[in-house]
Chain A
Amino acid sequence: MSATIVSLPDQSTARIPKVNFLTKENGLLSWLLTGDHKRIAILYLISITFFFFIGGALAGLIRLELLAPQSDLMATDTYNKVFTMHGVVMIFLFLVPSVPATLGNFLIPLMLGAKDLALPKVNLLSWYLYVVGGILVLVTMITGGVDTGWTFTTPLSTHYVNTNVLTTGLAVFVAGFSSIFTGLNFIVTIHKMRCPGMTWFRMPLFVWAHYAASILMVLGTPVLAIAIVLVALERTIGIGVFDPAKGGDPLLFQHLFWFYSHPAVYIMILPGMGVISEVISTFSRKRVFGYTAVAFSSVAIAVFGFFVWAHHMFIMGVSNYAVLVFSLLTMLVAVPSAIKIFNWTFTLYKGSITFETPMLYAFGFMGLFTIGGLTGVFLGTSGTDIHLTETYFIVAHFHFVMVGGMLMAFLSGIHFWWPKITGRMYPEKISQLAAVVTFIGFNFTFFPQFILGTLGMPRRYAAYPPEFQILNVFSTAGATILGVGYLLPVLYLTWSLRYGEIAGNNPWQATGLEWQIQSPPLTENFTEIPIMDHEAYDYEWLENQNLARQKAKEVASVG
């Protein structure tokens, strides 16, 4: 474990560059009116962290309630509101924007050798829309919450509940447009702003993953928007598109909703996969094995992802033939996901692996995502799905993918690019500890839920039969550990803003264009437009660069 690739400049002489995007302008307005993709990324990082902790607190309440079999901490309808708000906050305000709006925003122009995203004003607009959506969610919470579950299922949401469906719906609608604008901006940037020599197959896999996720955002989100508009119209004036009393079909709502919300899980996971590709390559000093296959597997996930939505409705009365087809298509998604996992594993093979924090999180991702993904195959099989759906097995499955997968990838990425974003290193030992704590806490929390699900404990209830208590106690205890694992990074990363070691341009000796410039970068990113003359992840090129620089220095000192 002592081997490390970290190469920092001499701390006694190193300085953070005086001119960078953080110091260029001062004052609150210079942030709120900025067009700089890096500053917008930081605005996003602060806001999503805020909502992550709100969502996390709600999760804590859920786990506390489930500590004992009776519903004693809160009334059952309050419990319904708590898990609904947990879902809404975590999905629309954290997971969807998490990696793309922060790291993606920060890095895509840097990785492509561009000065900014193609549409800086639209980028800022997307952040404001996010904030409006977030405020609407907070308003919903303060004025009594909503208890439909994050899926707004009709006719519950249109006829039977008397809570704030409309404000939440509006929040999701607005946050949805924030996500559409982010995706649209990425697609345009990737098409039009690549620097000379940056061909499609020289782009880092991080960019490919975001491209695929952006396609999903642009094509999927508007369908969610119209589904929500129809729910709102049905609630307010009583049109009957989803109302069985008038001949409408509530199932149509689910088709429209899941047509977005299934691809949405790939919107959440694909950018995380992009992070993992970068991290695995850097910390095993090898080009990602099967670069082209990994790149295309992202696009394949995006394409297949649009044709599997009905697997959320196997027990809701869709026809047997539809179940058959959607079940088969669902299993097809496992293929490109497996391509990624296998290729990352082969990247590790014979690599010079080191175990810095981002790599620990990446290992966590690979293990937990694999479990989460494979249990998805169980659920895609209609026979097992009929037994397991609406139980804790589902809850465990998507938390393995979303928390074990996406959140691990997010933390991996935040640690990996922290030195680039702030110019300072995070403290290595304690962050390794945090990564391990997170992994342990995560497994304690969610693994018992698989067992609970197979035993038949239904989801969305505040009370449960006493024989399930022991596993629920495990799960709640694990959630406490997990909470510590998430608090630690907030503390030491804040600490490092001031006291962290100075990172220099390229502490990891990584090959991406973003590592060849100063940290934190200049507002305009590059002093001259870079020319990409090598493949992505070319460590030999990097070595030659370093040698040339050293030689130049020697010549200078001799001269």
Chain B
Amino acid sequence: MEQQADAAGFAMWLFLLTEVMFFGGLFTAYLIYRNWYYPAFVAGSHQLDVRWGTLNTLVLIISSFTMAMGVWCAETRRRSGLVLCLILTFILGLGFLGIKTVEYSEKIEKHHVPGLHYSLQSFTHPETDAAAVKAGDKPLPPDMARHTEIYFSLYFAMTGMHALHMIIGIGILGFMIFRARAGAYTTGHVTFVENFGLYWHFVDIIWIYLFALLYLISRHA
């Protein structure tokens, strides 16, 4: 039994390693294009609302805390505590996705979704765009402005993949809440909760990198 839990934990770490490689491909693409098209990336990032991003970072960090508490509750066999923690994590996860939806719909309205109808208006004529005015953007030459589409391609690919992981996580959380109420994890079989905790923290950490890389590009001393 102990050997099995041990093996499952090790397997989970290996799985997270494959996840690191999975996101690694995206981070590599980001690194290259940010070096090539730095001004476009700065202008693109000014179109994101740092307040939403910060709020979402907080939401996820708190959800990681509630998840960690959940693992502790499972280990110390507190059933109602575990259920409460899982439900809180579940709600916070949904909250994150809700905020993300608000952000995405802003992008759709401003035609900042790469592909069809992508608009360069905010970058070639920043005076017409509130967010760009606020950041004090200068007009980008058309050639560089075009590359903001790469920035938004990466923005959607990276946050999209992250959101997909969140959705999968929330699905599993729902299943776990159901099982935890029946007392499945508070009789000593905590492996599943522990491994899910690892997954949840991993998704959280990915977000923290995404937040810094996508929202805070030009915000340094």
Chain B proximity mask over A177-194: 1 for CB below 8 Å, otherwise 0: 000100011011101110
In contact, A239 and B114 (Cβ under 8 angstroms): yes
Pairwise interchain contact A219-B32, C-beta atoms closer than 8 A = no
Q: Does B147 sit at the interface, judged by CB under 8 A?
A: yes
Task: List the A residue with the shortest CB-CB distance to B3.
Answer: A192
Q: Does A221 lie at the interface of the complex (its beta carbon under 8 Å from any beta carbon of B)? A: yes
Asked if B221 is at the interface (CB within 8 A of a chain A CB), the reply is no
B102 at the binding interface (Cβ < 8 Å): no
Stretch in A225-233, A436-444, A445-453, A532-540 with 4+ CB within 8 Å of B: A225-233
Closest 8 A-B residue pairs measured CB to CB? A238-B115, A226-B25, A239-B153, A222-B22, A118-B7, A247-B147, A222-B21, A237-B115
User: Is the CB–CB distance between B14 and A223 below 8 Å?
Assistant: no
* Contact across chains for A240 and B14 when beta carbons are under 8 A apart: no
- Given the complex, which residues of B lie within 8 Å of A222, measured CB to CB? 18-19, 21-22, 24-25
- Contact string, A193-228, partner B, CB cutoff 8 A, digits 1/0? 100000000000000000000000011111101110
Can you list 23 A-B pairs with a CB-CB distance of less than 8 A? A119-B7, A184-B14, A184-B18, A188-B10, A218-B18, A219-B17, A222-B25, A226-B26, A227-B25, A230-B25, A230-B157, A238-B114, A238-B116, A240-B153, A241-B154, A241-B157, A246-B147, A246-B149, A247-B33, A247-B146, A247-B147, A255-B28, A256-B29
In the complex, besides A226-B25, A227-B25, 13 extra interface pairs with C-beta distance below 8 angstroms are: A118-B4, A118-B11, A223-B25, A229-B157, A230-B25, A237-B116, A239-B152, A239-B157, A241-B153, A246-B147, A247-B146, A247-B147, A248-B153
A390 close to B (CB within 8 Å) = no
- B22 is contacted by which of A187, A191, A223, A239 (Cβ under 8 Å)? A223
Closest chain-A Cβ to B31's Cβ sits at a distance in Å of: 11
How many Å lie between the Cα of A173 and that of B161 in the bound state? 15
Cβ of B209 within 8 Å of any chain A Cβ, yes or no, is no
Partner of A241, one of B4, B22, B40, B150: B150
Residue of A nearest to B156 (CB): A239
Residues of chain B within 8 A of A256, CB atoms compared: 25, 28-29
Assess whether B206 is interfacial by the CB under 8 Å rule.
no
Provide the bound-state CA to CA distance between A219 and B18, in Å.
6
The closest CB in chain A to the CB of B116 belongs to: A238
**Chain B residues packing against A (C-beta within 8 Å):** 3-4, 6-8, 10-11, 14-15, 17-19, 21-26, 28-29, 32-33, 36-37, 40, 113-116, 146-147, 149-150, 152-154, 156-157, 161
In the complex, the answer to whether B22 meets A184 with C-beta atoms within 8 Å is no
Residue contact B114 to A237, C-beta cutoff 8 Å: yes
Kindly state the separation between the CA atoms of A252 and B27 in the bound complex, as whole angstroms.
12
- How large, as a class, is the contact surface on chain A? 35 or more
Is there an interface contact between A193 and B150, defined as CB atoms closer than 8 Å? Answer: no
Q: Kindly state whether residue A122 has any CB partner on chain B within 8 Å.
A: yes
A524 at the interface (CB under 8 A from B): no
The docked-state distance in angstroms from the alpha carbon of A55 to that of B152 is 40
Closest to B115 in A: A238
CB distance from B175 to the nearest CB of A (A): 16
Contact status of A246 and B153, CB under 8 A, knowing A223-B24, A226-B23: yes
Residues on A with C-beta less than 8 A from B4 are 118
How far, in Å, is A556 (CB) from chain B's closest CB? 38
| Contact in complex: A192, B7 (CB < 8 Å) | yes
What residues of chain A have their CB less than 8 Å away from a CB belonging to chain B?
A: 118-119, 122, 180, 184-185, 187-189, 191-193, 218-223, 225-227, 229-230, 233, 237-241, 246-249, 252, 255-256, 259
CA distance A219 to B21 in the complex (A): 6
Residues of A within 8 A of B156 (CB): 239
* Chain B residues near A180 (CB-CB < 8 A): 18
**Closest beta carbon of chain B to A223's beta carbon, Å:** 5
**Residues of chain B with a CB closer than 8 A to A225's CB:** 22
Contact A252 B11 (CB under 8 A): no
A218 CA / B18 CA spacing, docked (Å): 6
Identify B11's interface contact among A184, A223, A240, CB under 8 A. Answer: A184
The CA-CA distance from A255 to B26 in the complex, in Å, is 12
In the bound complex, CA of A122 to CA of B8 (Å) = 10
Question: Residue of B at shortest CB range from A181?
Answer: B15
> Once the chains are docked, how many angstroms separate the CA of A221 from the CA of B37?
29
Q: Is the CB of A249 within 8 A of B32?
A: yes
Residue in chain A with minimal CB distance to B160: A233
Q: How far is the CA of A508 from the CA of B183 in the complex (A)?
A: 53
Q: Which residues of B contact A184 (CB under 8 A)?
A: 11, 14-15, 18
Chain B residues lying within 8 Å of A252, measured Cβ to Cβ, are 28-29, 32
- Residues of chain B within 8 A of A219, CB atoms compared: 17-18, 21
Residues of A within 8 A of B116 (CB): 237-238
What's the least CB distance linking B108 to chain A, in Å? Answer: 12
**Chain B residue contacts of A185, Cβ below 8 A:** 11
Residue of B nearest to A255 (CB): B28
CA distance A75 to B17 in the complex (A): 45
Residues of A with C-beta under 8 A to B19: 222
Query: A residues within 8 A CB of B154?
Result: 241
Q: How many angstroms from the CA of A119 to the CA of B9 in the assembled complex?
A: 11
